[in-house]
Amino acid sequence: MQHRGFLLLTLLALLALTSAVAKKKADCKYKFENWGACDGGTGTKVRQGTLKKARYNAQCQETIRVTKPCTPKTKAKAKAKKGKGKD
């Protein structure tokens, strides 16, 4: 009877450990294109990724699109900083 309890406890611990590892590594890996030009209407830029690798039977889309806000142009600020250093 003690062997059965020990075996059950060991099995549950192994199952919990396997589940924790799968959660950390069950992900999708994509290869992304370069960011596109800024869309003035939405203020965002877009890039697309194609599936490179799916780990641990993860449910992955073949292609995905991601967006991020456009960054303001900083060339004028960089030139101003260079000009101050020459004095």
Q: Is residue 64 scored above 70 in pLDDT?
A: yes
In sequence order, what E strands does the chain have? 28-32, 44-54, 63-69
Per domain, the residue ranges of the chain are: 23-69
46 pLDDT higher than 80 = yes
Output the six-digit token pair for 64.
């995905």
SS3 content of the chain, % helix, strand, coil (to 5): 40, 30, 30
The reported pLDDT for the residue numbered 74 is 62
pLDDT one-digit tens code per residue, 22-36? 555 589 999 999 999
- The pLDDT assigned to 77 comes to 54
